[in-house]
A and B are shown apart, each in its own frame.
Chain A
Amino acid sequence: MTEMQERCLALFYCQQVPGNSDQERLAIEKRYGRTIRLFPIPCSGRLEPIHLLKALESFADVAYVVTCPEGECRYFEGNSRAKKRVERTRTIIRDIGLEPERVGIIAGSKEHPKSLGEVAGEILESTSSLGFSPVHNLGFAQK
């Protein structure tokens, strides 16, 4: 197994995001196995920092949220709230010495929509340099 496959991404995503059908989710689970754990939420505005923190504390090396494109939230402000909560979570983990990049947010694009699988792959790729989280495996992280 490569390092990328062994790391774990907690992926929270708004269920209104296009391209997150059951088939897509099954395909992601089949392709990535336990590398990606999916958490559908009715709106990204439902996301709280504690969700991201608990994921990082319990199992995840990286925790991201995928939202609707800006201005497209069916509840108007859900994705803008999610953005602020991700920022707050980043501040918290920075304060304890964890890389803030381990938490992030991806807003979908109306013009260039991508499937959840594509977005997940891009997150894994862009965060690959972070390696394992020192929260779960101090030995690996220190190498």
Chain B
Amino acid sequence: MITAEQKPIEEIREMIAPCKRVLALGCGSCVAECAAGGEKETAMLASALRMAGKMNGEEIQIVEKTIDRQCVKEFVIQLDDVIESYDAILSLGCGAGVQAIADMYPEVPVIPALNTEFMGETKDRGVWVESCIGCGDCMLYFFGGVCPLTRCSKHLLNGPCGGSMDGKCEVNPEVPCAWQLIIDRLTNLGALDRLQMIYPPKDWSKKQGAGPRKIIKEDQQE
């Protein structure tokens, strides 16, 4: 899941200030799960912006709508019929959603209402933790399902660093040492020997350095 957090309201108000009619557009997928840009959060932000507008004597109309996914064209086309009546779209989608909307409606300003944070998992009610950096060459098999690139503060592929204490990271004692988790998991799996291998430096060309990455599956194409 892609996680995000709402930008400060003041920052959002500055961005929408030139507009008279704004569509606050929520996304019902990842950002709804992390309580940042779903239907509920969109309604809250729209309500707050309307109130702020009234308090400051501004003539601004904020209309709210949530679609299932902002990053998939088939869902975004729902806006075809209404898009012309707005000066701007205030997107509560992730960065991918914002750009997908902007690509589809290049004549309308698309304003991000969220700061996209990371790919992560829901650890508990109201708690989301980063768990994947999307390196393009997953090595979770070797590390017992714990990603050292994401979860080790030092991103060590050949750990542990030796600084952890009581299973906690020396950089941030609030988080578990990823390498302690890796060793525990591999021990449980009887696969500790996987750590006898020396892992070479990561090939980051699979993540970055050649522009935006693309996946093409011909059997899924028309």
Binds B, one of A1-9, A91-99, A123-131: A91-99
Chain A residues with CB under 8 A of B40: 48, 50
Least CB distance from A72 to B in Å reads 22
Q: How many residues of B contact A (CB 8 A)?
A: 15
Given A92-B9, A138-B57; A50-B44 close (CB under 8 Å)? yes
Chain B, 134-169, CB within 8 A of any chain A CB: none
Q: Is A14 located at the chain interface by the 8 A CB criterion?
A: no
CB distance B52 to A96 under 8 Å? yes
Least CB distance from A136 to B in Å reads 8
Complex-state Cα separation, A27 to B43, whole angstroms? 34
Complex-state Cα separation, A56 to B54, whole angstroms? 12
* Candidates B43, B50, B52, B55; contact of A50 at CB < 8 Å: B43
Chain B, 42-57, CB within 8 A of any chain A CB: 43-44, 47-52, 54-55, 57
CB distance B54 to A95 under 8 Å? no
Chain B residues with CB under 8 A of A121: none
Least CB distance from B10 to A in Å reads 7
CB distance B47 to A50 under 8 Å? yes
From B52, which residue of chain A is reached at the shortest CB distance?
A96
Complex-state Cα separation, A118 to B50, whole angstroms? 33
Chain A residues with CB under 8 A of B54: 134-136, 138
CB distance B10 to A53 under 8 Å? no
CB distance B44 to A98 under 8 Å? no
Q: Is B200 located at the chain interface by the 8 A CB criterion?
A: no
Given A57-B50, A92-B9; A97-B55 close (CB under 8 Å)? yes
Chain B residues with CB under 8 A of A96: 9, 48-49, 51-52, 55
Complex-state Cα separation, A33 to B9, whole angstroms? 35
Least CB distance from A114 to B in Å reads 31
CB 8 Å contact bits of B2-15 with A (1 = contact, 0 = none)? 00000011100000
CB distance A95 to B55 under 8 Å? no
Complex-state Cα separation, A135 to B58, whole angstroms? 11
Chain A residues with CB under 8 A of B47: 50, 53-54, 57
Chain B, 40-77, CB within 8 A of any chain A CB: 40, 43-44, 47-52, 54-55, 57
Chain A residues with CB under 8 A of B51: 53, 56-57, 93, 96, 98, 135
Q: Give 17 A-B pairs besides A50-B44, A93-B51 with Cβ atoms closer than 8 angstroms.
A: A48-B40, A49-B44, A50-B47, A53-B48, A54-B43, A92-B9, A92-B48, A95-B8, A95-B10, A95-B48, A96-B9, A96-B51, A96-B52, A97-B52, A98-B55, A134-B54, A138-B54
A-B contact pairs, 23 of them (CB 8 A): A50-B40, A50-B44, A54-B47, A57-B50, A57-B51, A92-B44, A92-B48, A93-B51, A95-B9, A95-B10, A95-B48, A96-B9, A96-B49, A96-B51, A96-B52, A97-B52, A97-B55, A98-B51, A134-B55, A135-B54, A135-B55, A138-B54, A138-B55
Task: In the A-B complex, list the 3 residue pairs whose CB atoms are closest, starting with the nearest.
Answer: A96-B52, A53-B47, A95-B9
